[in-house]
Amino acid sequence: MESENFEWLAGVDLSKFEEGEYLIVIDKKIVAHTKENLKSVLEKIRKEYKEKTPLVAKVPSKENLILI
């Protein structure tokens, strides 16, 4: 499922998120996002989604964003 989340995230418009913000994805859905306190947000998500492994991705800067 992690690869499916990664492929799904590649098609998401990230423009509404800030550069450097962390996105937490489960089941092809962004369940949380944060620029700080990633550890505490992940702890909360892991408690809520005990059976799932979250994908964590960082929103790239516009200079690092590569379109394929």
Classify residue 3 as left (phi > 0), alpha (psi -120 to 50) or beta: alpha
Q: Would strands 22-26 and 29-34 be described as parallel, antiparallel, or unpaired?
A: antiparallel
Q: Is the pLDDT reported for residue 30 higher than 60?
A: yes
The string of pLDDT tens digits covering residues 37-59 is: 999 999 999 999 999 999 999 99
Phi first, then psi, for residue 36 (nearest 5°) are -135, 165
pLDDT category at 3 given cuts 50, 70, 90 is confident
| Domain boundaries of the chain, sorted by first residue | 2-58
Q: Is the pLDDT reported for residue 67 higher than 90?
A: no
pLDDT category at 65 given cuts 50, 70, 90 is low
As beta bridge partners, residue 35 has none
Task: Report how far residue 3's alpha carbon sits from residue 54's, in angstroms, rounded to the nearest whole number.
Answer: 11
